[in-house]
Amino acid sequence: MDKETENILNKYKSKINNEIKDYSPSETFSYEYKEFKKELLTRRVSSYESMCNSSEKILNVEPNKKDYEKLQESIEAAHINITPIGAYSFAVLASLLVFILLLLVNALSFLGTGGINTNLILVTLIVVIVLLFSVKLVSNIPNYIASNWRLKVSNQMVLCILYIVMYMRHTSNLELAIKFAADHVGNPLALDLRKIFWDVETGRFSTIKESLDYYLEGWREYSLEFVESFHLITASLQEPSDERRVTLLEKALDIILNRTYEKMLHYSQELKNPITIINMIGVVLPILGLVILPLIGSLMGGSSLTKILVIFALYNIVLPVGVYLFGINILSKKPTGYSDTQLIEKREYEKYKNIIVKAGNSELYIDPAIIALFIFMVFLIISLVPIIMYSVGADFSFLGAKFVDFRQQNGGFCSLEQTCYGPFGSGAVLLSLFLPLGLALALSLYFGIRSRKLTKINEETQKLELEFSGSLFQLGNRIGDGVPVELAFGDVAGNMHGTPTGNFFQLVSSNIQKFGADVKRAIFDKNIGAIAKYPSNLIESSMKVLLESSRKGPQVVSKSLTSISAYFERIHQVNERLKDLLSETLSSMKSQISFLTPIIAGIVVGISTMIVTILGRLSLLLLESTSQGGEASLGGLEGLTGLFEIPSIIPSYFLQLVIGIYVIEIVVILTALANSIESGNKISAENKISKNLLSSGILYFIISLFVTLIFTLLATNIQLG
């Protein structure tokens, strides 16, 4: 090759390399590919993903083949940016770091004291045993994440099949139908549907059918009805006749609806025992156990501060986390459900989660968290009054005893210059009730403001959805009779006057007449569109089907709308059946949340206060009798002064704080769990948490107040004969 030819080749090689380097393929890819890539690349990497990826570089530990395959399946299902080796390496590395830290603590203790601390060694051995078991649990975190992901996806499956059947009834195109479902069903299932396109665009699969089959294979073990429905949908593409094709599509929807009902029937029957376990082990037994805790605590050695910290860790951290994880385990077994995901969860409705203050033509948004925090701080200061009174040496008589009641070690009343324990007074307990009340009111206000406006929109939309199937049937009939779509909206609006559906259709008709808008703009325009006031995925998708089918003539529109009407009616029937099946269980949970838990807890606070008051009263009476030379008359009772030592008694002030915070946590957890079983709607969950916290918090405050006053009066009347 001569030099001139070589120069020409090098010139064009350099030019081609530069073009390849600057080439951006996104413009040639599909909308789904770009959307998935945007969501994947802009998603914030979680701390867990970062730690797993870092651990894989530091300590590369590979799990066994069975665990590897399970972790890989979970990672792909939940779209986690890690590898099975990273997940396992993080579990091992975290345990090793804790073990090394314990060794350092033991070494420092040995160097500092010059001897072996047996208690520290015992704690180290217990922690090592726990670490050995925790390696397996921590390495399975991707499985837990995937289980939660599948739960959220399964609640959208019925809607997904509905959207695909709705679209393919008039347009037999699988790719467009999946795209239509991805646009309306919402995340996380929408992300899975876009992943189907992503795998085709990246060359992993050559066709949408192959990519879809691979995705469905991951659901075969968890939701066979979803897989079977999709297979019937794809089989409809091979049918030559329209009648047979539509029959297969309707069969696909029938399968997922009927199987959902059957599986929910078994789930509701199996749900009774787990809910009973949650009520007993998570609520009733722990709270009733607190009744005798002051007595047991006084008999056990050790300082009251240590006991308070242990009780706080057990009741305010371990038990709530245990109840929550047990509830998640119950939800993970929930079969495919009907999810009423609303457009109000989208960004344009975020402003309604704030307090809106109009200033001229502009709007000022105030975060409700600021007001909630202010209210909590006010109640917190009230609950700290006993501590403030002790710091200034103030106290007074209340119900035959001291209001705050700090004691010396021997049981005598305490002054500032002495070592004091407490507060043991019933007045301190009454003031401490303001902390859980303030927490309940603050959280109730916060969630109430966030969900108030959106709840109203949600309720109106649900009323519209309830009537929409009949309205669509009327609209389809009018269009089938030859009435133009623009006029048909006005006719149906007149027949449905005064109903949410009539208002929706009237708004569409008004936009067409007043603004000269076409049907698309009258429904979907951001400024005047009717869908903006009734944000529903079901209504939006049915209107888009109307627009799509209108291109093929009025008869196609009529058939599409009447079919959609039938689909909506069947989904509504299944949803009502599911509510009936779960009504008994949900009723039990709701009564536990709003009534039983705060009442039981309030009575326990009163009884605990009485026990502590009696112990303090006995200590004081025995001290007074001993100081007056009354040992002989007391007989063997003087031994009680050593049995019930003041430093060992748990003050009912702190005990009430633990109980009150636990009640708030349990109300939030059980409300969220009940809402997830019933519907899974986030707006509904926040609204219910707000209402339950308000009623439960006030009821707990009132019951605790009166029971404490009554039992304190009984305890202060104790005398030694």
User: How do residues 342-382 score in pLDDT, each as one tens digit?
Assistant: 444 555 566 777 777 777 777 777 888 899 999 999 999 99
CA–CA separation, 171 and 548 (whole Å): 9
Over residues 74-101, the pLDDT tens digits come to 888 777 778 888 888 888 888 888 888 8
Mean pLDDT value of segment 529-545: 75
Single-letter code of the amino acid located at 600: I
Phi/psi at 25 (5° precision):
-80, -5
DSSP secondary structure letter of residue 433: T
Asked whether the beta carbons of 537 and 185 are under 8 A apart, the reply is yes
Mean pLDDT value of segment 159-166: 81
DSSP secondary structure letter of residue 283: I
| CA atoms in the 13 A half-sphere facing the CB of 57 | 5
Judged by phi (left if over 0) then psi (alpha if -120 to 50, else beta), residue 79 lies in left
Instruction: Work out the burial of residue 518: count CB atoms within 10 Å of its CB; fewer than 13 is exposed, 13-18 middle, 19 or more buried.
Output: middle
Question: pTM of the prediction?
Answer: 0.71
The pLDDT score that the predictor gives to residue 193 is 87
- Considering 3-17, 300-314, 433-447, the range whose residues carry the highest mean pLDDT is 433-447
Cα separations (Å) of 107 from 94, 130, 305?
20, 21, 27
CA–CA separation, 305 and 81 (whole Å): 44
Q: In this predicted model, which residue has the larger pLDDT, 106 or 212?
A: 212
Q: In this predicted model, which residue has the larger pLDDT, 17 or 341?
A: 17
Question: Which two tokens mark 484?
Answer: 């133009």
Strand partners of residue 356? 365
CA–CA separation, 300 and 308 (whole Å): 13
- The percent of residues above 70 in pLDDT, for the chain, comes to 78
- Reported confidence tier of residue 278, pLDDT bands at 50, 70, 90: confident
Q: In this predicted model, which residue has the larger pLDDT, 160 or 622?
A: 160
Three-class DSSP category at 205: coil
- The percent of residues above 90 in pLDDT, for the chain, comes to 6
- Reported confidence tier of residue 626, pLDDT bands at 50, 70, 90: low
CA–CA separation, 466 and 568 (whole Å): 9
CA–CA separation, 683 and 243 (whole Å): 41
The pLDDT score that the predictor gives to residue 37 is 53
Give the residue extent of every domain in the chain: 25-150, 155-270, 272-453+573-715, 455-572
The pLDDT score that the predictor gives to residue 3 is 66
The pLDDT score that the predictor gives to residue 27 is 39
Lowest mean pLDDT among 77-86, 409-418, 560-569: 409-418
The pLDDT score that the predictor gives to residue 88 is 85
Which H/E stretch holds residue 537? helix 537-550
Q: Is the pLDDT of residue 54 over 70?
A: yes
| CA atoms in the 13 A half-sphere facing the CB of 29 | 20
Q: Is the pLDDT of residue 65 over 50?
A: yes
Q: Is the pLDDT of residue 644 over 90?
A: no
Mean pLDDT value of segment 514-533: 80
CA–CA separation, 622 and 625 (whole Å): 5
Mean pLDDT value of segment 607-614: 78
Written as one string, the DSSP assignment of 328-374 is HHHHHTPPP-----BGGGSGGGGGGGSEEEEETTEEEEE-HHHHHHH
The pLDDT score that the predictor gives to residue 152 is 76
Lowest mean pLDDT among 5-9, 103-107, 505-509, 638-642: 638-642
Lowest mean pLDDT among 92-106, 382-396, 456-470: 456-470
The pLDDT score that the predictor gives to residue 441 is 94
Single-letter code of the amino acid located at 26: S
Cα separations (Å) of 592 from 299, 327, 441, 474, 699?
33, 15, 19, 45, 13
Question: Which two tokens mark 262?
Answer: 């059957």
- Reported confidence tier of residue 635, pLDDT bands at 50, 70, 90: very low
The pLDDT score that the predictor gives to residue 439 is 94
Over residues 225-240, the pLDDT tens digits come to 888 888 888 888 888 8
Tokens 């992503």 — which residue? 198
The pLDDT score that the predictor gives to residue 435 is 93
The pLDDT score that the predictor gives to residue 69 is 83
Tokens 């690349």 — which residue? 41
Average pLDDT of the chain, as a whole number? 76
- Helices of type H across 384-425: 385-391
Q: In this predicted model, which residue has the larger pLDDT, 627 or 525?
A: 525
CA–CA separation, 162 and 249 (whole Å): 10
The pLDDT score that the predictor gives to residue 8 is 65
298's CB contacts (< 8 A; 6+ apart) are 615, 643, 644, 645, 648, 649, 650
